[in-house]
Amino acid sequence: MNLTKWMALTSVALFALGLAACDGVNKYEVEVVELENTNSSSSGSDEPGDKPDVPDGSLLLDDFEDGDHGNQVGDWWFVYTDGTTEIASDNPGSEGEPFPSATDNGSNYALTIKYGEVSSYAGWGTNVTPVADKIAGYNAVQYKYKGADHCLRVEISDVADYDHYKYCQGKSAEWKTVTVKFKDLAQGGWGSPVEFNPAHVEKISYQQEAGTPAGSVSIDDFYFIKVAE
């Protein structure tokens, strides 16, 4: 069955399940989409209305087009905070679940996260463990964003002290498509150094550090991709 249709048909049930699973432990099953890219353009343009420009076989983590707070690989998006910093999506669920909202990038939905001045840390992310055995087949991620400076984190199970591998981006007032190669990720350096093993990726997350001024970031069209090193 067409994934979008399937998700639409089950979105009410998933929403109810999501409310019951606000701890993010419960899982649901979805078909995993490995994209057959029919867009022959390689311009890299990210003008509104463009289709995602990713290599054949890329793995879609989420394009948010189903409007729910589940990703496309069978798990949930979440927000997290130090307990002081306020953070929520532009369209939070009744339990604070980060639902996507209408966007201006040519698609229907993106995930927009808003936060207050960051006390210690605050962020958002999603679990990718349902496709953990596939991620080592890729060597980069690609996503679109608009908004504030932010750091993408590719969290692996070997990191026990939260000093996760990350790559930071500057602010952008317009939608921007970025590719982050796994080899360019780096730990912050304040924790124990561990080797990056793509077979051990558990979560994709974003974190704003202490002192970050209040702001917002929108993300969309997040893929695991294979690119030339």
Using CB under 5 A, list all residues that contact Ca ion.
Answer: 63-64, 66, 68, 70, 107, 109, 220
Rounded least distance, CB 103 to Ca ion, Å? 6
Closer residue to Ca ion in complex, CB, 121/175 = 175
Sign of the alpha-carbon dihedral angle for 220, 160, 79, 87? negative
Q: How far is CA 199 from CA 79, 123, 131, in A?
A: 24, 23, 10
Rounded least distance, CB 31 to Ca ion, Å? 13
The continuous run of DSSP H or E covering 223 comes out as strand 215-225
Rounded least distance, CB 66 to Ca ion, Å? 4
Q: Which residue number places its CB atom closest to Ca ion?
A: 107
Sign of the alpha-carbon dihedral angle for 43, 139, 72, 24? negative
Closer residue to Ca ion in complex, CB, 8/227 = 8
Closer residue to Ca ion in complex, CB, 110/159 = 110
Q: How far apart are CA 85 and CA 152, in angstroms?
A: 19
Rounded least distance, CB 105 to Ca ion, Å? 7
- Ramachandran class of 90: left when φ > 0, alpha when ψ lies in -120 to 50, beta otherwise: alpha
Rounded least distance, CB 74 to Ca ion, Å? 10
Closer residue to Ca ion in complex, CB, 65/165 = 65
Closer residue to Ca ion in complex, CB, 50/68 = 68
Q: Do residues 172 and 217 touch, judged by C-beta distance below 8 A?
A: no
